Structure 1
Amino acid sequence: LGAVSAELLLSGKLSEYGVIVPFSTDCRGRFLSHVVSGEAAAGLGQPACPPEPSSSRRRVPRSPPHQSPQRRWLYFNVTVFGKELHLRLRPNRRLVPPGAVAEWQEDFEVLFREPLQQRCLFTGDISGMPGAAVAISNCDGLAGLIRTDSNEFFIEPLERGQQDTEEHGRAHVVYRRSAIRPDVPSVQVGELPNSLELMAERLGDAERKRRHARKDGYNIEVLLAVDDSVVRFHGKEHVQNYVLTLMNIVDEIYHDESLGVHINIVLVRMIMVGYRQSVSLIERGNPSRSLEQVCRWAHSQQRSDPEHAEYHDHAVFLTRQDFGPAGMQGYAPVTGMCHPLRSCTLNHEDGFSSAFVVAHETGHVLGMEHDGQGNRCADETSMGSIMAPLVQAAFHRYHWSRCSKQELNRYIHSYDCLLDDPFEHQWPTLPELPGINYSMDEQCRFDFGVGYKTCTAFRTFDPCKQLWCSHPDNPYFCKTKKGPPLDGTECSPGKWCFKGHCIWKTSEQPYSQDGSWSSWSKFGSCSRTCGGGVRSRSRSCDNPPPAYGGRQCPGATYEYQVCNAEECPGPYQDFRAQQCSKRNSYYTHQNSKHSWLPYEHHDDAQKCELICQSEGTGDVVFMNQVVHDGTRCSYRDPYSVCVRGECVHVGCDKEVGSLKQDDKCGVCGGDNSHCRTVKGTLAKTPKQSGVLKMFEIPAGARHLQIEEVEPASHSIAVKNQATGNFILNAKGKETKSQVFIEMGLEWEYSVEQGKESLKTSGPLHEAISVLVIPQEEEVRSSLMYRYIIHEDLLPMIGNNNVLLEEMDSYEWALKSWSQCSKACGGGIQYTKYGCRRKSDNRMVHRNFCDNGKKPKPIRRRCNLQDCSQPMWVAEEWGACSRSCGKLGVQARAVQCVQRLQDGTNRTLHTKYCPGQRPETRRPCGRLPCPAQWRTGAWSECSVTCGEGVQQRQVVCKGSDSGARCEGDKPEAIQGCHLALCPGKLSGITASADAGDHGTTKGQRVPQDGAKNPVSKISSREPCLGDKSIFCQMEVLARYCSIPGYNKLCCESCGKKASSTTGSAPATGIPPGTTTPSPAPVLSPYPATPARGEPGGDPTLA
């Protein structure tokens, strides 16, 4: 199981759950795949289905003013306790704004920071189920909240980290929120110390003034702090996804229409608090002190600039430490929102149900009281109100009570910090599609003249492929310019053209389908058995493929690895040379066979072509094929290899794409500190004819140079010691300047003014002998040599003539000018300096240069032309976010734009534009929604054995116009049948308040009163009449012996008892009757005191 559900199941906290296998579908619910996680599932995403007639009661997701091209719907089918649900999800782009970060802290310091990801957070609804809502993440399976028309469920994967096995189906756990059995003792109310309030009063109002952006919406920008106990419980690799899912549920709770106000929960910063800091903040058993310390800490994390992307309005602290009495779930001040030290909550994290704790506590900070305590909403607690003072473990659906709505409206207008919009884009959006304003008939008239209209002589499969036109005088003669209609042209009702296809109109732009990669295949076999081969794996851009003008998949189709990098046994064999020499026996050129040698083309694009040179004629011939995979691209690069005819860069660490390089003596990533230069001059006089050996150079030598000191008649020759073969000037050969390939290296041999020279960059794979072939006896031969080797090779040559390699010298050099500080009106730019190596004038990393010698930057004026006056530019209004109710809004982008001299525009901060900014949001669709029946949860059976009764509340809710609910009213009372009671018990009945979820206590009724137990039942309240119309039904009169029913129908039951026995009404307490104390109501939320002035005592929630 996942960390949360495993803990719940193992500790017996789940009374009921199911194990299911969800799957991805298309928009109609047809099976696509068992893959439900992350990018793989996103690749199955589709545009929204064409609109269908639906109930006006359906919850419509809010739409942000700027919609991403990648926003595509996801569809999943899940089976919840025997009922199949079709989830329709779209990304929640309003939870994590641009610039949000996740920060890991340890030992009171920041370890690292990274962008906060939001790619797998979704909200949506359920097909065919008005009023349903879903808040789910699919980072690792499906996890989150599913709210149906009558119940609430949590879903999460059975095991974490199993994304790779999803294609065969992945098990998930689904359970009702009411199935979580909390361990809930009573708690006491705490107070915030006065010092916290006094300190807060000293802070000026200026600290809370923020940019205002919208009149009809509020954004709570949240700092989410996750302490070490939560991180360790869920695991570092899973905790971010978990808490994002949790806050996605909180965001969905605040979008319930019963709240009456448009509030977004926006995560601007997430901090994973280190162990020492976590322990220091929470004082066990002291919630007041713990909250004070958490609020002070959150204030210390605040950004000083209110315009900073990470500036928060409210802090939410999650912990699994016990900060209060056992079972306490949350603690928060009342009406502390926007206050520097009071806008914070302390929450005990205990699974996805903790989202309701966070929502509850944040409700207190917004000014909401407990329902039924200081207000008249006690009747809504059993219906699942979020601000209920006790845990409602059995209710079906959550909602905000009318009191919460009123209390929020009392304070929300004073919370200025919630008015700014962190999602305001400061860049222009794409223009409207051009075909929206022109029909196909009008485009025909533009193309061919007056009178031309769309051709009707034949029907094309897709009218957006090509625009065909005809004239009414000759309707069967159709013309086309072989181009499609403009994007946005209507092609049929509810559809328009886009990139040559007729597609459904939706609220998203653009409407193309971007390509997405399939998973990687397995690596294939290595291309060589030794000497450095390569193997590859591939993926396809078909998950889905790009369509309707969508983008191709980013990145490479193939991925490569170097393999079998160990050297082949025996003398070194040049792999490219082997491929050329194989053609000696069969390849003919100009009607004859040749001995073929490798040839490297100077054009980089030809590096992986097999090109060979005739040893006899010198002709260079293209063999019309690429070299074998694993062949080195160039003799000047010992690591990069050819694959599929393309050169793949490989670093000296044998990793593809690595930038690591050898230093001068072959140390990968080295600094030349182990390099030694060997140099000298050697003169010998031949005593007889034949070859004269001058010196040897060992294997591993690099940057080799050999040259004659003075012109001489003799010739330099070189022999491979391992094979005994000459590689240069075998005896009797004529000498001439040339570049040749031997021993897997490129050599440059030149003869200028009678002096010979030879050089190669190396490294030598085998030792060589340098020889002289004298043309005349007794003529002195004098050669100078120089090469670089690693110090470990010095014993092979002795220490004579060995020098430390001269270190390169570096200097600061002018690199470029910085960007001008202003686009117009006169700005400033400065010089940028880089580090340059003197030996070859190449720019290198700045660490090579002495920072103390870096020149001071030079400044100069730039962009001196005058600026034009900035102006407001407003786009068209977007679609309405609701079809009915009081929360419908539509949005548009408004930017402050300045025209530049080059004809382009740039976007400025809003403070530079004159006048008041045009509104970006306005109400819409504010029509009454039809009324709907709402039911509470069935109470527990009134007896523990035998026949009893259950009851629930049934109300008509949601109508703004006073209209009545359609359809039959659901049942409010039903019988329940339990196992027969054992033996003959002497008249025992249960006594507890209706709606209490505590344990019941028995009351023994005397034997002589067993016939009329009604008269023996006590009540703490006078009878104020029947509370249900069902009380008057004779068939239900037998339930009067049940305390819960007797309280509900006290008047009818009293009349029945009086008419039967003439005794006192049931609401009285007969003399001498012993009444048990009522069962305790257990809650993790302590009672909230009546709230006084803002800034008063805190409340527990």
Structure 2
Amino acid sequence: MGGWGLSQPLVLKQRTNGAAKSHPLSSGLWLWTEFGENHNIIRADLGGLMDLETLYRGVEQSINHTRASRSRRHSMDRAYNIEVLLGVDDSVVQFHGKDHVQKYLLTLMNIVNEIYHDRSLGAKINVVLVRIIMLGYGKSMSLIELGNPSQSLENVCRWAFLQQKQDTGDAEYHDHAIFLTRQEFGPTGMQGYAPVTGMCHPVRSCTLNHEDGFSSAFVVAHETGHVLGMEHDGQGNRCGDEVHLGSIMAPLVQAAFHRFHWSRCSMQELGRYIHSYDCLRDDPFDHNWPSLPQLPGLHYSMNEQCRFDFGVGYALCTALQKAGQSGPQYRTFDPCKQLWCSHPDNPFFCKTKKGPPIDGTMCGNGKHCFKGHCIWLTPDIIKQDGNWGSWTEFGQCSRTCGGGVQFRTRDCDNPRPANGGRPCVGATDQFQMCNSEECDDIYSDPREEQCRASDPRHDLHSNIHQWLPYVHPDPNKRCHLYCQSKGTREVTSMYRMVLDGTRCSYKDPHSVCVKGECEKMGCDGMIGSSKQEDKCGVCGGDSSSCKTFKDTIIRTTKKQGFLKVLEVPQGARHLLIQELKAAPHSLAVKNEASGLFFLNGEGDIPETRSLIEKGVEWEYENDNGKETLQSTGPLTHGVLIMVKLQGDEDVHLSYKYMMNMDSNSALQNNMLVEDSAYEWAPKKWSYCSKLCGGGKKYQRYGCRRIADSKMVHKSFCNKSNRKPIGDVRDCNPKPCPPPIWVTGEWQNCSKPCGKTGLQVRSVSCIQPSEDNTTRSIHNKHCNDNRPESRQACNRHPCPTQWRVGPWTQCSVTCGNGTQQRQALCHPRDNTIGLCLDSKPDIIRICRMDPCPKGTSDLNKNGNMLIQFSSRHNLYPKISSRQRCHGDRSVFCRIETLGRYCALPDFRRLCCKTCANETGTNVSTPVATPSFYISIPYHQSFYISNPFNNSSYTLSYQQSLYVSVPYCDSS
């Protein structure tokens, strides 16, 4: 398995800033799934998992994972962190003991983390344990519904959703929930259940796992792989050839500690989805979990691992040991190859999961298991995790002005990873902004400079071009250098990234490109900051200094040529010019400083396009003669809006733009001219301050340009003379009528049926006046008899119906068996309902061809049933006081098998069915040689002459199933 890391057993977080689908599963069962799939697996050698029907609908809701207080990483080679909530039910806590369960869970999750560190995955993923919750008996029983995996998974996912921290910046905020139980939530052998591609979803990012020893780590890794988007190897992909090599995502998982890998399909499927899981990009927090030894087996003996794998009483198989001078010794079999276990009641009947003990397990005097071998541990074979060295100084800035970036680096050499040790986690480089002061040339545009410097013959035909800057519409390609030919308007890639520090987009003046990725920055120049400009460019402002200029322009055409219709000043933002009706004329734009046209000049064809001029992006649309021109701005220079006249139709335009009317900004925008050109002039009287009861109105003054008598911003008049004091008049002296409540119409009901339907309406306190006008006032002014604004509606049961899944394949290949299907009462819209019809049958008898002579009807999947003779009782009676948690096998529901309730082991397997058995004599043993139950996936062997050392022999069964006898112990 490799090493384990002394100081950090887990990667811990450190804070730095649809449509229905059916598909076949390995047992031959077909599923019908809505809005996402669930996956379960069969683990061939780790205590198998069988597929069962799943009908799980995740709670369809979304939350915004913009964790403002937690920084995103800035390089594609950084690790993804899956922050895990680990839920553990009472069955796991009681089995391992309250004093020991935490250390066991940390070791198990450390193994899962190591599995995701395997290089075959093709991505750096850390499994980060942020929280452990251990449930009591009552809550555990309410979450796990025996024999119903889909409902159990839904319960667990909903429980995990309720445990979520509200603050995304909380150290215990989780991305994914892993739930462990030793209860049988599904048929015998089912070990895991999970939604597919549910990662980061508030409800569907969860897995349900059966815990039965450290090999359960492969089940947890497999199920989490489904949530990340991985499918079973060989099912819908071409990776079936990797299953027998120990691939993690095999339908029958055969991975073991000394032999596991992620298939090429798993790597490809993960790569398809991983970039969409935004919640995994957070930098980690630090959690003070107890440290673990470098090798996990140093804390766990083979006897303890046998107990974890097979239950209480199991220990290392005594048949593999013999007495020696210095204590028990092993026979010729190396105990580190495979862990074989037996129970004291039958010490020569041994089991294995076909995997070795975990690394570090003691296997002899001074020796330990390591990668399946019993060896002396030496420093040269123990892994060494890497650790970061010191940061270098920041290097040269990428630009001399206008904002660039500079980097510093560090190496993973303190120490370097060795012998399979994990590499350093985190970035090898960091960057910061530099030289942010503006350039002397206010029109400088780095992207334009890079295009201008490109080869003028850069095209397929070696034509000469003047290249203009172009931003690709795909956000993922905005840091690739694309340029547009001024002559042909063709767009081409220059096959390189833009220089570091270049703006990602002209519409976002702060985010910059760094090593080919767009890095989000705030208007304060801080990396990862969420601070934004208001509508008129004030960083962190509230738009209070913004002023909108808008009007309609109508001009009568008298001659052909260009007609100037509007001057837009430097600094204008959110400019929008629209032609009110289609006309043969065309809009044109001229740079006021240079006097040159840059849109629709002489000889240009007025066709829809976007262009960039002096660092400002413009979008021009011509829709069958009806034109629209817009720019986010801010304009680096004033522009003249022109109309190229054609024909004799009038010009009808509307315009709108915003300005920051702060006086300093006005100066910067060259809006102030000679003082004598402006004067204070009276404007309209204000509205009365009250509708009734006596109010005031005021004479207002504004700044007027003398040349054309147009009102302009007050800053133009501030230096010429003092603003006059306006007159004040009384108004609306009549007393006010009493305020009244006014209600609106009831809106449509929120639900068509169920128990939660509501409809709402508006309720306002209105003050009427003598002139029949009204205004809304505070509710406190109206009386206390406020009309209802909410009422219940459509509170009646929703129509429901039974929905059934398909029948499974017959449980036997010959003779008589059973088929199953699932039936669910399905209300509409997930509301409350009750199916009135009787529930459809969910189990039925199936009859296959007669079995060959010497085999049994109970034989499943063609497995050979083997009977071992015994002179004494191998299976003691089951106490009648033993607690019954329900039937543990689907065979219990076969009525013809009720006669086997006389057998103690059948009665233990089917305690609920046998307890309900009435009218049947179950005290008489059945007249049949023996009864068999298949134990999946365990190998076993029997010592033929256990007390005769001179004729010691071993025989063992190689098939995936081996059956043992159930004999009447009375």
Shorter-chain TM-score range: 0.3 to 0.5
Which has the bigger relative contact order, CA under 8 A and spacing at least 6? 1
Question: Larger Cα Rg: Structure 1 or Structure 2?
Answer: 1
